[in-house]
Chain A
Amino acid sequence: MKRTAWTVSSWVLALLLTLPIMALIYEALLPTEDVFRHLWGSVLPTYISNTFWLVLWVMVFSFLAGVPAAWLMAMCELPSKRWLQWALILPLAMPSYIVAFVYTDLLDFSGPVQGTLRHWFGWQSVSDYYFPAIRSLGGAALVLGLVLFPYVYLLARTAFMEQSMSLVQSSRLLGCTPWQSFKKVSLPLARPAIVVGLSLVAMETLAEFGTVNFFAVNTLTTAVYDTWLGYGSLNAAAKISAIMLLVVMLLLSMERMSRKRQQVFQKHMGQEPHTGYVLTGVTKWSALIFCWGLVALGFLLPFIILCYHALRYFDQAWNSRFFEYSLNSLLLSSLVAGIAIVVALVLGMSHRLTGKTYTQIPKRLASMGYALPGTVLAIGVLVPLTSLDFAINDAALWLGVTEPGLLFTGTMTAIAFGYLVRFGAMAIGSVESSLGKVSPSLDMVTQTMGYSPSAMMMKVHVPLIRKGILAGALLVFIECMKELPAALLLRPFNFQTLATYVYQFVSDEQLELGALPAIVIVLVGLIPLIFLNRSLEQAH
């Protein structure tokens, strides 16, 4: 492939992925009724401040949990590390609305925690004591932080592991304490990856619907839903979405501007023998309690409670179609993860080959879908796909053959496309932060040896950034396993994913019955996780 071909294909891909967003922006620009003005005058300011605080708290939590855990796993020797390093990714496999439900059950008035407290202190009613309400902004931030911090952990750990140990060793030889060396060397080097992780967390929080709805925290996303369903105004809903998109673009570009002048390339890709810090005594125990505590709160506890519900309602919940739904989810998620990685590589490499700033644009464009709530995105997906379907059917009419009907909209294509638009950003971000660490001199050398760009990519870059590719693929996979709103709206007949199956019960306030399929989501999500971790270990 020639360079122009790379550039062209990256633009084509980016435009394809932005079609749904274009459709929404077009919708937003149409003249509006006074719904939007009315919203400004009443509830929108509160929604905006709620959204701001929620995103901020979740980011802070994810940073404080994810970065130390990543550094401990990448740089230190701890007992049980073999288990811990992948156990810390487990919370990702938990759909957040399930975790929200579990903690509500645990911490509300009639739950075991408050019940025990009442029993100990002899309190009788609600008015006798104060207990923080789980159904609140703080509660939502906590739950989201618990399930989202692994993004930061995963990307930061990959970055720490890819760092050349010689840099850390040099800093130690030059008299840095481990803490100084972390602050001055490891952290700045890992910054791009951490920022990608945090921006994933922020966007995920921004587009989050299940948990905030469950906790009655009104955010911009719930406003989008209300506006669309309550006021019946897709136009005003699209306007709110467009504002959210603008905010996301602004945040991302600000961050990039600030990072512009820092470019660090590594001459070695962390392949030298790794000697970590060996922790002992108090440090060891604090580190262990910290890491295992995160695993317990984000995964083990909800999982055990799910198992308890699943066992209690097993007879009602067990049905033979699990296998089919699991297969649906698995196929769909693997397919999208694969395509997303190809897209990410094309976009990442084409930017690298030209090295011009404007070739960043396709990457940014293709990442926009992530900040959109699933339902709104689904409508955006319907617009171009139905147009395409109509074009095909009109052509069939014109040719005088039978109309084929909805070839794209009524099939898995629609869901897969929707997922690609929504989660492509994760693969793009992950591949990008790994590619950024490959020195351009490698490209020059390879090209002077007469390799074509595509051969160079396959022979040089892909092996070097294998971890980043795998991490990106895994993130996309797990997200697709859990994704709900878009799947609900784009589903063909008689088609269920595990998530839509769980949701049938959730939406009817029968979460207990959804426990069993929820467990299956988690278990199916674990398969690639273990696989990924194996390959990371072998590479190390």
Chain B
Amino acid sequence: MSFLPACKELDRQPLGDMIRNFGENAVLRALDKPTLSSEDYMALLSPAAEPHLEAMAQAAHKRTLQHFGRTIQLFTPLYLANHCSNHCVYCGFNARNDIPRSQLSMDELRVEAEAIAATGLKHLLILTGEAPNKAGVDYLEEAVTVLAPIFPSVSIEVFPMDEADYVRLIGAGVDGLTVFQETYNKELYEKLHPAGPKRVYDYRLEAPDRGCRAGMRVVNIGGLLGLDDWRRESFMTGMHAAHLLHAYPGVDIAVSLPRMRPHTGAFQPAHIVDDRQLVQIMTALRLFLPRVSITISTREAPEFRDNILPLGVTRMSAGVTTAVGGHTKGNDTAQFDISDPRSVDEMCSALKTRGYQPVFKDWEPITSPGSHEIAR
């Protein structure tokens, strides 16, 4: 069963008010437990938890250390194309935005991939907008065939697709899937996505379930923090991750915590999430789900990224450009502005200074009999 029925049920509840009603005792109880219930998680997201942020941070640090050690896995995104038929009001690639559109040819892709590989990075996340007749499943499959011999791990963050298409891409060498629901608030979702295939909330919501069933090794979800009440959104994200963990025990579930950034276009977030709140979200999530990977992207500023390292983060992007071909052609078609422009080398020394080891490779492709290392 997918997350949809549970999500619909939760969506009917006044979750924001419920979370705001927790008192200090519930927070202290939650902090004391080895295994947290969904009510405990709510308590940690409540205003009553705010005075206990330091205790939450200490506990989250301890859990993270236990399960992940002092290591941070590094990856980088590669934008394949920025054509998009969607009208997401918060995004620079929005079909109505007048920006130069492009799509990498396979030769350009190879050059871009080699430029990334030269920095030492081994985990790659490929992205496109949603324009199935330009950058559809065939195009992605071809791209993955080019990339798989260069990178031990290739994940996709593209449009949601059917299970059979995920199976096809896994066959080509994809091992991870990222799908952001953006907001779990259905009514708001429909307002923010006025036109285009992304309008269909249910199809997007069930994409992680389809990816898990298709055999993805890692499935990464998240909400775009800033669109709606963050307490409610964070609770829903945690419940979504908990559902996936329970329903697909063989899949590694990961959560990203992206905050909205300035971009081309007029939309500004209605619910700004400040630094303290992001820390509350991350530490609550870590305590609720001690083994999920947590990703912090270069949307965040260098100093903040360095400071939140011990609080639950396990994966970070580095050497990032959000423009198509940005690693070789420059940055003028970026999806959004990044805040941490550090190179891979600079990221590594920053991690080492903080007592963390950057990990470049943490996967060996084993799905196809002639595996990566032997093939080369």
Are A and B associated in one complex? no
